């Protein structure tokens, strides 16, 4: 059982580089992109799409070379209608794993323990297929002999219902869960109706159970670079304290999120420095930028300078900003890939394919394509195909 996937431990080249070095010496490092379009993106769109389209979106993304896809959220459909039927998206990826050039890591957001229960239920229902056994009936408590049981535990065990072994691997792909907390009390209260400490207390058992069941846990820290209620100057020490606590509780990765997009180059630099001083390593971190004020790629460059090698983004620039109606949200995957490739970094991602998906899914949502690099790439593809 591996809580830190190999891909995360491969970042040996974490030497500090200044921005000028990034632009001079081609990075040649691998940078991991966590595609959050199907979850963070769709969640912040006004229009809900059908579960079939969600499944199709995940399938198409799986073919692009992306290796990590946040595919859904086990939230209550009443509160987050756009995430309804995430259980069906999950079961679809389990029963019919999307074709992909590399193994994919799917991530699933869990707002609370009920979400974890629903997630595990889908996992367990599907798991027997992983070992080839048909789904056994519930083990009877008082029959004369044990019922068939694929569990690796003692064959005489009559626990009900059967559980998969403690592993996050299914059909050659991996699954992880994610949770989220806020860096400011105001956002925590307004968003989840509890204090930051209460959030930590509530998530502790969820994280413990996830680990026990073999699923790595990613923790988002939102409003890390600005809060809609407390303003742009989120105290970086509060973010660092929270990150340390979460890592001590067993989180495998911290995604530091600029939820409002208010983050700036100096603030990002200061935050990264503070995290480092608190003992948080680069390989524990992913940066999650929103492009609400157009700063996402600048903040990305600052982060690359610092040695960060994992970034969240959303295809087609999916997502908006609930705190700035009409404003941009997640940084677009196409723009991020274009930038990284321009520096010589390796992502493994096919920009043309992601651009095609960005054009398609934003059309499905009924909004304009939110990615500059995506639109420009689609224009080039049309020109090359002789269509324009």
User: How many Cα atoms within 13 Å fall on the side-chain side of residue 197?
Assistant: 0
Residue selected from 6, 12, 15, 20 as contacting a second copy according to rule CB under 8 A: 20
Residue selected from 22, 53, 169, 186 as contacting a second copy according to rule CB under 8 A: 22
Is residue 186 part of the contact set for a second copy (CB under 8 A)?
A: no
Q: In whole angstroms, what is the distance from residue 239 CA to residue 269 CA? A: 13
Residue among 41, 16, 21, 26 nearest 361 (CA): 41
Residue among 241, 177, 245 nearest 206 (CA): 177
Residue among 280, 267, 335 nearest 307 (CA): 280
Residue selected from 220, 289, 293, 311 as contacting a second copy according to rule CB under 8 A: 293
Is residue 371 part of the contact set for a second copy (CB under 8 A)?
A: yes
Is residue 15 part of the contact set for a second copy (CB under 8 A)?
A: no
Which three-class secondary structure string do you get for 261-298? CCCCHHHHHHHHHHHHHCCCCHHHEEEEEECCCCCHHH
Please say if 321 is a catalytic residue: yes
Residue closer to a second copy by CB (options 58, 267) is: 267
Q: Provide the angle, in degrees to the nearest 10, between the axes of the packed helices 333-342 and 296-306.
A: 50
* Sole window of 80-88, 147-155, 265-273, 308-316 interacting with a second copy (rule: CB under 8 A): 265-273
Residue selected from 50, 135, 153, 342 as contacting a second copy according to rule CB under 8 A: 342
Q: In whole angstroms, what is the distance from residue 202 CA to residue 205 CA? A: 7
Residue selected from 140, 231, 279, 294 as contacting a second copy according to rule CB under 8 A: 294
Report yes or no: 187 and 222 within 8 Å, Cβ to Cβ: yes
CB of 341 to a second copy, least distance (A): 9
Is residue 366 part of the contact set for a second copy (CB under 8 A)?
A: no
Residue of 183, 321, 331, 349 with catalytic role: 321
Residues belonging to the active site: 321
Residues that bind a second copy (CB under 8 A): 18-20, 22-24, 26, 261, 264-269, 291-295, 297-298, 301-302, 305, 321, 324-328, 332, 335, 338-339, 342-344, 368, 371-373, 375-376, 378-380, 388
């Amino acid at each position: 059982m591996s809580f830190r996937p190999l891909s995360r431990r491969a970042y040996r080249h974490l030497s500090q580089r200044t921005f000028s070095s990034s632009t001079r010496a081609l990075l040649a490092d691998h940078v991991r992109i966590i595609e959050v379009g199907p979850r963070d993106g769709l969640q912040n769109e006004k229009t809900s799409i059908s579960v079939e389209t969600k499944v199709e979106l995940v399938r198409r993304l799986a073919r692009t070379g992306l290796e990590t896809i946040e595919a859904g959220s086990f939230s209550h459909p009443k509160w987050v209608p756009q995430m309804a039927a995430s259980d069906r998206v999950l079961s679809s990826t389990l029963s019919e794993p999307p074709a992909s050039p590399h193994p994919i890591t799917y991530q699933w957001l869990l707002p609370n323990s009920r979400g974890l229960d629903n997630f595990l239920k889908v996992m367990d229902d599907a798991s027997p297929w992983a070992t080839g056994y048909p789904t056994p009936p519930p083990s009877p408590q008082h029959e004369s002999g044990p019922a068939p049981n694929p569990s690796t535990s003692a064959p005489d065990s009559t626990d009900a219902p059967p559980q998969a072994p403690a592993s996050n691997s299914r059909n050659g792909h991996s699954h992880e869960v994610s949770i989220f907390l806020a860096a400011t009390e105001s956002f925590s209260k307004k968003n989840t109706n509890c204090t930051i400490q209460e959030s930590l207390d509530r998530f502790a058992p969820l994280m413990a159970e996830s680990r026990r069941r073999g699923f790595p846990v990613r923790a988002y820290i939102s409003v890390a670079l600005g809060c809609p209620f407390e303003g742009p100057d989120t105290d970086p020490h509060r973010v660092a304290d929270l990150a340390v606590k979460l890592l001590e509780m067993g989180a495998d990765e911290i995604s530091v999120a600029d939820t409002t997009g208010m983050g700036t180059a100096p603030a990002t630099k200061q935050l990264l420095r503070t995290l480092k001083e608190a003992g948080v390593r680069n390989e524990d971190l992913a940066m999650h930028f929103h492009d609400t004020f157009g700063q996402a790629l600048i903040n990305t460059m600052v982060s690359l300078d610092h040695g960060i090698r994992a970034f969240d983004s959303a295809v087609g620039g999916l997502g908006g900003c609930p705190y700035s109606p009409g404003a941009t949200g997640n940084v677009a995957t196409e723009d991020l890939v274009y930038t990284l490739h321009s520096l010589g970094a390796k992502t493994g991602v096919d920009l043309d394919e992601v651009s095609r998906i960005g054009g398609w899914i934003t059309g499905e949502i009924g909004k304009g394509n939110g990615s500059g690099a995506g639109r420009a790439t689609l224009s080039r593809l049309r020109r090359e195909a002789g269509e324009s």
